[in-house]
Amino acid sequence: METTLRGVGVSHGVAIGEVRHMGTAVLEPPAKQIPAEEAEREQGRARQAVEAVAADLIARGNLAGGEAQHVLEAQAMMAQDPELMADVDRRIAVGSTAERGVYDAFAAYRALLANAGEYLAGRVADLDDVRNRIVARLLGVPMPGVPDSDEPYVLIARDLAPADTALLDPTLVLGFVTEEGGPTSHSAILARALGVPAVVALPGAGELAEGTVIAVDGSTGEIFVEPTADKRAELEAAAAARRAALSASTGPGATSDGHKVPLLANIGGPADVPAAVEAGAEGVGLFRTEFLFLDDSKQAPSEEKQIEAYRKVLEAFPEGRVVVRVLDAGADKPLDFLTPAEEPNPALGVRGLRSLLEHPDVLRTQLTALAKAVKGLPVYLEVMAPMVADRTDAKAFADACRAAGLQAKFGAMVEIPSAALRARSILQEVEFLSLGTNDLAQYTFAADRQVGAVSRLQDPWQPALLDLVAASADAAKAEGKSCGVCGEAAADPLLACVLTGLGVTSLSMGAKAIPYVRATLAKHTLAQCERAAAAARATDTADEARAAAQAVLSGE
């Protein structure tokens, strides 16, 4: 009998297939004591296992490329963390085996993060995956991971670590469903990059029996268990219609009555450029430059290295627009040379622009590198600061840009409610705004963007969040300036129409989402988008907002 479950849809598309479950997590190793003379040998075993796992993660990243590569390289750095390894050595020195020392050291760090309630608690799944891989190697058992199968299937897991998601084979893994995670987790972001339909935050997903046929709608978040023939036909027809609309839609982003909405790509570096160009991106709306810095947490990359990376991206979009976000370090992206070693709550501490203003040499080098990289190129460079709270922040950033001789537009990201509420004040110092809806939701609702338990509050359809978007767009319009969205909200085709109706002037997203958004915008007039936006803001919940907008745009 067909039943329907609902999670959070995070990657568009429909997948129909049999359930296969993720490999079982590594069992807890026995707590047995070793003689003192074996400690040095066990310490060596632990170090070898850590280095092997780190090398495997880097190799997986090299194969995956793009944003996945940066995520996996960060995970490899987590495996090699010197403080963790020192703790492992200490535990082995007092009698633990290598595997038990690793298990207990990681458990202690895990508890520290979770109990402190820090923003880094969102990386617990990544930490668990690193631990499991190291312990599995030490025990000589198979790595936890994607099941072996000759036939296509839908993958079910409690959560997916980046190392697993990055190398999913789309010809075999039709889609995936997880019990945990949120719309802005690493797994969700990588699923969109891969173009694999995905639903997260579905309680009880692990109870679906192996071999059960399910249909996954990554757009609505619905899971149909044992779908009827009629339901399958309905979903497959909808998917076919969507594919036809995608192939028919080309050119710049615009509504059906010609209102232009530039569609830009979010990238992490030069490796992401080919996919953006292939998708027809009109430029880059968010160049996350922090991935250049995460390659080495001990020191900033040289000016020459930065110039090379920036120029590769800028050259790919002649006559296009490239928006570069200066280094956004802190919280879940700590850098030893820049961010404080200990903060009670890094998400609310010295991160983003705050870090750069405390280390003006790092900001000056990056801005100088950008000034040199763009010289002589026919591209429209725009540079923006993360985590701008008020006009004082905006002025400090604009002054730094001018001091570096940067010939570009200067902008501010709106990620803090104060910036949305005082957007006109900020726009006295900068020339554009860019809304980071992921962090804006996090700070508006006090809901960690990596915690599945509060995913309801991370939903970009929340009316309160739409109000802040509208306030920012209205301020930009009043000042005759632009206001884009570069958060994951822009990747939702229906929400893209609402954002357009709220007055947003450009949309930036992962490359895979651009065709979906372009095709959907092309079906509706600006007036319809405005009515949908008004209907969504008139509701009280995210579900009601989504339904209200859908009703307007479908003519119901």
| Residue 270 structure tokens | 């030069």
Tokens representing residue 536 in the block: 């969504």
Tokens of 80: 């090699």
User: Which residue from 266, 270, 259 is spatially nearest to 281, judged by alpha carbons?
Assistant: 266
Contact 465, 487 (CB under 8 A): no
CB-based contact 392:426 (threshold 8 Å): no
Output the six-digit token pair for 207. Answer: 């109870």
Catalytic residue among 12, 70, 186, 524: 186
The 213-217 sheet, strands edge to edge: 3-6, 222-225, 213-217, 14-21, 153-157, 173-178, 198-200, 8-11
Do residues 294 and 333 touch, judged by C-beta distance below 8 A?
yes
- Torsion, Cα 483 488 490 491, to 10 degrees, reads 160
**Structure tokens given for 437:** 């809806």
Helix/strand/coil (H/E/C) assignment for every residue in 268-297: CCHHHHHHHHHCCCCEEEEEECHHHHCCCC
Distance, CA of 283 to CA of 319 (rounded, Å) = 9
* Contact by Cβ (8 Å): 195, 13: yes
21: annotated active-site residue? no
- 438: phi then psi, degrees, rounded to nearest 5: -65, -55
Which of 401, 486, 497, 529 is flagged as catalytic?
Answer: 486
546 vs 535: CA distance, rounded Å: 9
For residue 441, give the H/E element and its range.
Answer: helix 437-445
Between the alpha carbon of residue 26 and those of residues 81, 84, 98, 209, 288, the distances in Å are 21, 19, 15, 21, 34
Instruction: Give the closest residue to 182 by CA, choosing from 445, 379, 507.
Output: 445
- The SS3 of residue 225 is strand
Catalytic, 186? Answer yes
The DSSP element (H or E) to which 66 belongs, if any, is helix 66-79
Torsion angle (degrees, nearest 10) of CA 326, 329, 335, 341: 140
The torsion angles phi and psi of 195, rounded to 5 degrees, stand at 75, 25
Q: Which of 149, 162, 166, 165 is nearest to 17 (CA)?
A: 149
Pairing of strands 222-225, 213-217: antiparallel
3-state SS string for 452-493:
HHHHHHHCCCCHHHHHHHHHHHHHHHHCCCEEEECCHHHHCH
| Helices 39-64 and 98-116: angle between axes, nearest 10 degrees | 60
Contacts of 243 (CB under 8 A, 6+ apart): none
Q: What are the φ/ψ torsions at residue 469 (nearest 5 degrees)?
A: -60, -45
Residue type present at position 553: L
| Residues marked as catalytic | 186, 486
